Structure 1
Amino acid sequence: MPLQAVRPKILGFISEQASAWLVALVVLLAGCALTTIVAWAASDLYEQQVRQRFQLLVNERFARLQERFEDQEQRLNGLRRFFVNSDDVSREEFDGFAQPLLLRARAYSWAPRVFREQRGRFEQEMSRQIGRPYVIRELNAAGELVPAAERDEYVPVLYSQTQSLLGVPLGFDLLAQPLRRSTLERAHRSGKLAVSQPMQLVGVEPAYATGVLLVAPVAHLSSAESSSNEPYGYVMAVISMRQLVADGLPKPDLDNLVMQIVDTSDLQQRVLFESNNVVADSDLVSVRRLSLGDHVYALSLHPSQVFEQSNHSSLPTILSMGGLLSLLLSALLYVLVSQRQRALRLVDQRTAQLRLREQELRDAHGQLRSVLNAATQVAIIATDLRGIINTFNAGAEQMLGFKAEQVIGQLTLATLHSSSELEARSASLSVALGKRIPASQAMLVESPDNPHEAREWTLIRQDGSHLSVNMLGTVLLDDHGLWIGHLAIYLDITEQKRVYEALAARDRLLKKLSAHVPGGIFQFTLEPRDNWRFIYASDGMRDIYEIEVSALQQDANKVFERIHPQDAERVRTSIRLSALQLSHWREEYRVLLPQRGLRWIRGEATPEELPGGGTLWHGYVSDISDLKRVEEELRALSITDSLTGIHNRRYFQDRLKAEMVRLNRTSGALSVIMLDIDHFKRINDQHGHAVGDGVLQELCKRISQRLRRSDVFCRLGGEEFMVLCPNTDGEQAYGLALELWQSLRSAPMASVGIVTASFGVASWQADEGIDALLLRADSAVYVAKQAGRDRVEVVARALDPAGPQSGPH
């Protein structure tokens, strides 16, 4: 039967003769059509969801705003009932009731009705109550408050509780302005709440200036049920529309809606409130009606760009992903069809070639048998399916002492192995594979964890002695690929085991010794091309550097990563110098450890040159952090004055020498300020040495607070002190000395009063030595003492035999 007749179709339905390009094109068109259908359905669903979300946001926003408008009406009605139910309301009672009502309102006020004949008596009574003149006022043409003109009736502001910084002018007549007058008249006629036209509020931020005046008439309780109710005053709420509407709403860059509120009764259609965010490019819009008092407001709601961005359509994603998947699927099918067609052609070509090579393999098989028999150092043993030995080469005879004729056809492979090992191996394989493995086949079954692994076995020689070998077993196949037996290859490892055991004993001894040595022991090489490597590292190295020993041996640079950046290059340089000179290496350096932080390490090693190039060091490292800490503490004690805590004479001399070296090398400026406490012996004699010590400590505290970070403050001894001022010229040093002088005499010290000191200032001059500079500073102090103490003197020039020369003070 021809080969083409039994080949299945690709994917079960595509003929092999079909063009790969045609299959890919059909799949691409089908995928694009399906993507279009899904995108159309998703687009329609998206439009419905967007409208539903917009309506939910609109309903929630409208309900919140209507609730706030009603809340303002309820608060003002509450204030009106407070006046209705009270015979007389004092200012304190009004403030206590109105203060909690100020949520989302700028002010609450009470204005009684005052008639022409009552005006004089009313103003006198109010002036007496508030303790200052009270006059009914109005705004003139210049916008100034002046006494109101004569009218039949006034409605002046009497009480007011406001959030405005400017407050509400008491006595302002609300009937003096047309806008407020019309609002009061509507409230008077209806007996209910009335709202003014949009107005600009005074004393608030410009963004909150647009608002309205909400007015409620107040009538006596006895006539409250009468339809001809005549109010005797009005309570009012000044409302900023932005404060009322925007308080508590999302920020503009997070708000999903754009709002606009317009008073429908306003002929100018002025906008009372408008959101600051940007309207989205959408046809969605909703208009609702809000009521406040006797006015109705139009609330227009549009979606914002935030709403548009959070509700973006998935149509582009669907189209792009669908098109991409269609393209990938068509490409995959093209590759699949074309590769299969190409593979079938290659199969036909390879089949002819394999048949030609089959004969060559038969010839090579015979040659291979000869090669196996020639291997005298390796035992090669082959068995049939029953395990009976049918091949026993010369290496097996030499290794086990048997002759081939004694073994072939007589013994099985299992008889050459230790029975106890086979039984133990059989038990472990049975557990791992979940089925019983006979002991006679245990050496031929591969472990599921490590297939093709060469395992160690013990063989029984002809004389009964044991032989340790490594065995590698495999199956034997005939020319048709059928399983016909097994092949076992054995390698004698007796000598190798003896060497390994000796090395293991040496390693255990070395590890035990290194574990009891403080610090870490190492062998380190520097090979050509700057290759650093640890050949050996004890467990102490892990404690020193907080790095596992295995990681150290893999990458020596991990140690240098632990070394402090300021010390790393110095350590590398010292190692290279030791390698170049074959000199003993010794360094002290810092390391930064993840757990213990900064530590000091001392390392020593002896180098030797390697035959192939490079250098090998044998050495150790130890932690000397405690020793370094003691050294630092001793150094700090040696340069610190024990009484005052500042630096002592020794430290001053060292720093001054260093600064002079710097000046001679790079030039610059340097000044010193010397001070001596005036009459310090008198303080000790009158108050005792304990008080004198306290004076010295307080003086050091005041001086230190005024010094700069670069200045060095030292005690020379007794009551003498010195300030070293690097990079400071004479004028700057003199200004600093004046500040220090003033800090001492500006405030008294406990128990002794004002303590003063005499200051001397000297600045370094070219080619001048340390002694000359200090002599001029000391001379300046002497001049200050001679001039009456408690002053600052400067010796500006080098001293000559004529005596000290002083500068300005």
Structure 2
Amino acid sequence: MPMQAVRPKILGFISEQASAWLVALVVLLAGSALTVIVAWAAADLYQQQVRQRFQLLVNERYTRIQERFEDQEQRLGSLQRFFVNSGDVSRAEFDGFAQPLLLNARAYAWAPRIFREQRSLFEQDISRQRGVPFSIRELNTVGELARAAERDEYVPVLFSQTQSLLGSPLGFDLLAQPLRRSVLERAQHSGKLAVSQPMQLVGVEPAYAAGVLLVAPVSKVADTEPYGFVMAVISMRQLVADGLPRSNRDNLVMQIVDTSDTQQRVLYESSNAVGDSDLRAARRLVLGDHVYALSLRASEIFDKSNHSSMRAILAMGVLLSALLSALLYVLVSQRQRALKLVEQRTVQLRAREQELRGAHGQLRSVLNAATQVAIIATDLRGVINTFNAGAEQMLGLKAEEVLGHLTLESLHVGVELEARAGLLSLALGKRIPPSQAMLVESPDSQHEAREWTLVRKDGSQLTVNMLATVLLDDYGLWVGYLAIYLDVTQQKRAYEALAARDRLLKKLSAHVPGGIFQFTHEPQDNWRFIYASEGMRDIYEIELSVLQQDAGRVFERIHPLDAERVRASIRLSALQLSHWREEYRVQLPQRGLRWIRGEATPEELPGGGTLWHGYVSDISDLKRVEEELRALSITDSLTGIYNRRYFQDRLKGEVLRLNRNCGALSLIMLDIDHFKRINDQHGHGVGDAVLQELCKRIGQRVRRTDVFCRLGGEEFAVLCPNTDGTQAYSLATQLWQSLRDTSMEPVGIVTASFGVASWRIDEDIDGLLLRADSAVYVAKQAGRDRVEACGSGQALMPDGL
């Protein structure tokens, strides 16, 4: 049959006679047309996806803000129920309940209703409880707090819990200001939560100043006049923006307006830029008795991250079409040239075939002479074409049953071939089929005999060693494979029987962490290891042969402070035949100091003495982790100094010591001036560096007995045991001066406000902290960058209400 009649078409549909240039041109035009269609369909899909992404972002943002509004209502509601159910509430009880509620709220307060005839008695009672003069106050014409004028009813602030270090405006009459009076009257008449019109909060950053006052009436019995009000001061930016993405990463531009505000003042507005797209949405937010309008638009960041990919699709489609055209051109042209070469080689191979037939008969006679070895040859497809007499005897098959019918793979166990093929595929980085698993060698074991399992004609199995090699012709081309098999079934059984005991023992010792041993203590005080696993060498860095000769070498490794304790515990275990367990240190030549844990069970020997069966393990990592966990629990991760938890524990301990033995104790508190400005202008990375440099300078100047801690943010404290107020003030002055002497790059001179307080007899921890905090506040109010000592303990003016 002529060769032209059996040639397949290229890729199944391209004729060999077709021009390579024509095929490439057709593919390029078809690919370009398909690209245009895909790009047109993708454009419409892109617009739908952008709108869907925007709606998902809007829904997520609305849900988050509404949840925060509801959370604030629930927190104030819980404070309202606390007053309703608790009866008479003290200041300490109020602080203990309200302080955990300060999340996304500036302050919480309690203000009772006081009538004209109750005012004098109320002021006297509160002054007696607080130990300082107290009066109901209001703002005068110059904006200062002064005694309130006479009127029928007052709602003065009695308790307050705030995030600010400035304290609270206790005694301020909320009815003296119209905005607050309005919200109190609405809460009183409705008996439910009421929200004020937008107001400017005092003493906070300008960006957080816009906020509202949330008020809830407190009544003993439902549907009765309230006897007071609980309030929450809420900064709208703090409530809404905290936890949202930064402005340079936010996909939405957001604005919140009070719908009941006639001036339509904006309570919150995002600082990022609005995008060019027309995507926008509006939602309705509810807080108390007010409804707020939430407006959302797509930002520039959203537009940039959702740009159209039409141009990229067109470019990639045209490029892929061009590459496919070039590939087909090369494939068609190379295929045509290759067919011409194949025709030439076919003529030469037919001539060589005649010569090989003559040599085949002679080779067959030689192979059949080897009756103890199976010799099997295959062609490139794996079909057996040579099967000598040794193979017939080994497998129970006749040559005529095998030649041209069976493959080499059919003689092997399939599961074994699949497992070997998987290992070879991983080692060589390409897939090896099971049919080739016995013929391919891994890179590290070339031309070595390998053990395989063959299947006889009767179904039985035998273990053989197989050596496979490639058969080459005179031109170095592969023509098949040659496999030589040697039956090693009996040899393998004998080897396995001899090695069974050693394998079992090695497996047991290898799977035990550390080392296992048998140790004897003979009546003549002779210590000896009669068995030691490989792990014992790693534990003590002593060779096993040395261990078995002289057990005293182990005690030379034990730390001098632990050696006698270990010897005594061994003697006690021998005396009482009790379980031995010890943790001790060893000093090793290479690994240094290590911690070891040992356990053993003793038994009495018939001739006297004791035999222990046990193990030892290295627990150095466990000991190190225990020390690291203890250090991490009391250390600030950023600055490396003690944290707030350690400060509170030490302060409690010092106060207990002073209550028992008397003595002196002082506390220095400091707060970095304008630290938020540093973060805003230079970034949080520079702010962290400033905190670290400040801790370095102060840490070099405090005394060894002082405790330097970071309380949180830019607030620090130095606890000074056995130090009176004069000494503490002198130390605070030195610390203050150390900050002003040298600037910090790149922010310049960084200053701080210091407050000093000394412990008084029978004073509790809260009192000492309050006085030190008040001194810091005085330093801030006096212009910052100074040291103030607090003597009166009187709290000063606040920020929120």
Please state which band the TM-score falls in when normalised by the shorter chain.
0.3 to 0.5
Tell me which of the two structures has the higher relative contact order, counting C-alpha pairs closer than 8 angstroms and 6 or more residues apart: 2
Larger radius of gyration: 1
